[in-house]
Amino acid sequence: MKKSALFGVLFILLIFTLTFTIAEENDSIEDSAYACLESKVKGNCDSLSVEEKIFSLLAIGECKSEVLADSNYKSDIKLTAQAIMALDRMGANTDEAEEWLLSKNTTTENIIWLLQIATDEGTTCSINYEDLSTTINIIINEDETLSFSGEKGCLSLYGEGYSLRIGQNCYGKELSISCVGDDFLTTLLYKYAGTTYVSEKTSSASAGGTTTEQVNSLCFSNNDNDPCDYEDSLWASVVLNSLGYESSAYIPYLITMMNDPNNYPYIPEAFLYLLTNQFRNDLLSKQDALLSKQPLEDFYDIALALYPFQYEDLSQKTADALKESQGNDGCWNSGNVRDTAFLLYSIWPRSLRDIGADVEDDGVDCESAGYYCMSAMSCQEAGGNVLTDYDCSALFKCCDTEQTLDSCEDQGGEICDSNEICSGGTSVSASNVEYGEICCVDGTCKSPSQKTECEDYDGSCRTTCYSDEEESYYSCDAGEICCIEKTISEKKSYVWVWILLVLIFLVIMGIVFKDRLRPLLLKLKSKFGKGKSGIKKGGGPRRPGFPPVSRVPQRRVQRRILPPAQRRPARRPSARPKGEMDDVLKKLKEMSK
């Protein structure tokens, strides 16, 4: 009975230990997170919120029918855009939703649009618009100021007269500009809250030639009478752009309004990086700020900030921060389905085959075919062509040319030599960085010998310490604190696990082969038992320090057996008094010493 109970306990302990070891050593962040998400989503789509359904569909291909049937689909701009992104990946037809989304755009009202004409000398220009039946004559003076002659139409002088303001009744109409006597340049400017932005397009022509400019300034609104909604416009613009729709009309509004403090939480840099291939360093800085909070808090924002870099290697710092903030069940943010699904899709997206999606036309993976996944704008700037027969993740396109990088100077950084470090800034990739060099943005190139007091004591200067660090009083550069690794190591050791496994294995083998091992154990027990008591074969116990006493053979006395009638009944020895018994035991104990 005791052996069976012992065997049961050991077996349960073995199973538990094996399970613990496998879970700790073999399950990655990704695997455990996907397992957690699937356990919470599969069979439970009806009980999820609309965003939980959408991002679950993106990450693991679940809740497709529930997304299509949700009341927010084709009634809410942001949620409809997100749903289109997920449904399009799963091969669903989203034509009606796309048309509905396009119907919700509207003209911006608070942005001022300006037309600028530049020449080396004073000259006369004419501007035609609409059906070319309306002509406006402009005089460019030698000091580059403008003046009218004739009908003004929808144009008016702006400010000190160096540019023309374009009225809203000219939005969407093509303006044709022609100047005589000299070469000229034309460009559009837009202004909001005192800040002037220059359009990316600049046109030039020789004397007598023609340039064309057109104002397209749109945003998205759920109600024709309401002003533009910034978050709705971000999601609608980037999703429509990924589907091949022209999105340049939305960019001025998105750029001008990104500095509004009310719009900071929407991470506009992530959308604008996908749309324009700009604001990369701004987005990296926002990533650092989000990941420096320990423990991590804004998981949805982190997923959004990481998404544009889906096809770039994940930094070890980011991976460590995510692993440290992962729950015991594998999910993030206390089992939040939306946040966990979005993080998985942003960082470790799985192919449709891997998630078992039922898609009729599962195309060839872009990178497996030797091409590159990137935004459409990145492909265009790289001089490549978008390949429609190959698949990338949602908002990304397959490009036949590798993405180009800006120079360090164009990114606002400085190149640090191989013997320097980037202090207080961010190291980014750049086209003109040679082996051993780094491009330091928003920081300073310093020699390792120019260490701060904190670095002299093996600390790190940061704005916020990691969870395995503690703040120290050693000095750092302005705005930073000294972070020292905690003295007590929190790293896990699995040596005891292996020792326990070996012991359990030996015990189980002993139980299984107990019949074969019993003779050996008895022989060992007999051998070691005699040696321990000091008894030799053929003799009694030996007293140390005395020679053996010679034995005198004695005659064996034959025992006389009495008949049954003469036998006396056996007498049980009388019990000693308790005090006497204690004395005897005490003497025996002293003798055994």
Output the DSSP codes for 339-354. Answer: HHHHHHHHHSPPPTTT
Q: What does the block give as tokens for 217?
A: 């300034």
Residue 433: which region, alpha, beta or left (left: phi > 0; alpha: psi -120 to 50)? beta
Residue 226, pLDDT score: 72
Residue 176, pLDDT score: 93
- Mean pLDDT, residues 519-529: 64
Band of pLDDT at residue 436, cut at 50, 70 and 90: low
Band of pLDDT at residue 58, cut at 50, 70 and 90: very high
* Average pLDDT taken over every residue of the chain: 80
Q: At what angle do helices 337-347 and 50-60 cross, to 10 degrees?
A: 30
Residue 321, pLDDT score: 86
Higher pLDDT, 456 or 580: 456
Q: Is the confidence at residue 572, as pLDDT, over 80?
A: no
Q: Is the confidence at residue 539, as pLDDT, over 60?
A: no
Q: Is the confidence at residue 32, as pLDDT, over 50?
A: yes
pLDDT digits (tens, 9 = 90+) for 217-255: 999 998 767 789 999 999 999 999 999 999 999 999 999
pLDDT digits (tens, 9 = 90+) for 372-400: 999 888 898 888 999 988 888 888 899 99
pLDDT digits (tens, 9 = 90+) for 437-487: 778 887 778 776 667 788 777 787 777 776 567 888 888 876 678 888 776
Residue 582, pLDDT score: 64
- Mean pLDDT, residues 292-316: 87
Residue 495, pLDDT score: 62
Band of pLDDT at residue 533, cut at 50, 70 and 90: very low
Q: Residue 331 to residues 36, 40, 299, 324, 326: CA-CA distances in angstroms?
A: 6, 10, 11, 12, 6
Residue 490, pLDDT score: 40
Residue 491, pLDDT score: 40
Band of pLDDT at residue 367, cut at 50, 70 and 90: confident
Q: Is the confidence at residue 315, as pLDDT, over 90?
A: no
Residue 236, pLDDT score: 97
Q: Is the confidence at residue 27, as pLDDT, over 60?
A: no
Residue 403, pLDDT score: 82
Higher pLDDT, 522 or 7: 522
Residue 543, pLDDT score: 45
- Mean pLDDT, residues 347-360: 76
- Mean pLDDT, residues 101-130: 90
* Stated pTM of the model: 0.68
Q: What is the separation, in whole angstroms, between the first and last Cα of the chain?
A: 37
- Mean pLDDT, residues 318-324: 86
Strands 155-158 and 105-107, sheet pairing: unpaired
Cis peptide, bond prior to residue 295, ω within 30 of zero: yes
d(CA 511, CA 522): 15
Higher pLDDT, 307 or 363: 307
- Mean pLDDT, residues 46-57: 96
Residue 275, pLDDT score: 94
Residue 25, pLDDT score: 36
d(CA 236, CA 105): 9
Range in 119-123, 239-243, 301-305, 571-575 the model is least confident about = 571-575
Residue 72, pLDDT score: 96
What are the boundaries of each domain within the chain? Answer: 30-105+221-358, 112-216, 368-399, 413-485
d(CA 569, CA 133): 146
Band of pLDDT at residue 22, cut at 50, 70 and 90: very low
Residue 218, pLDDT score: 94
d(CA 53, CA 384): 35
3-class state of residue 189 by DSSP: strand
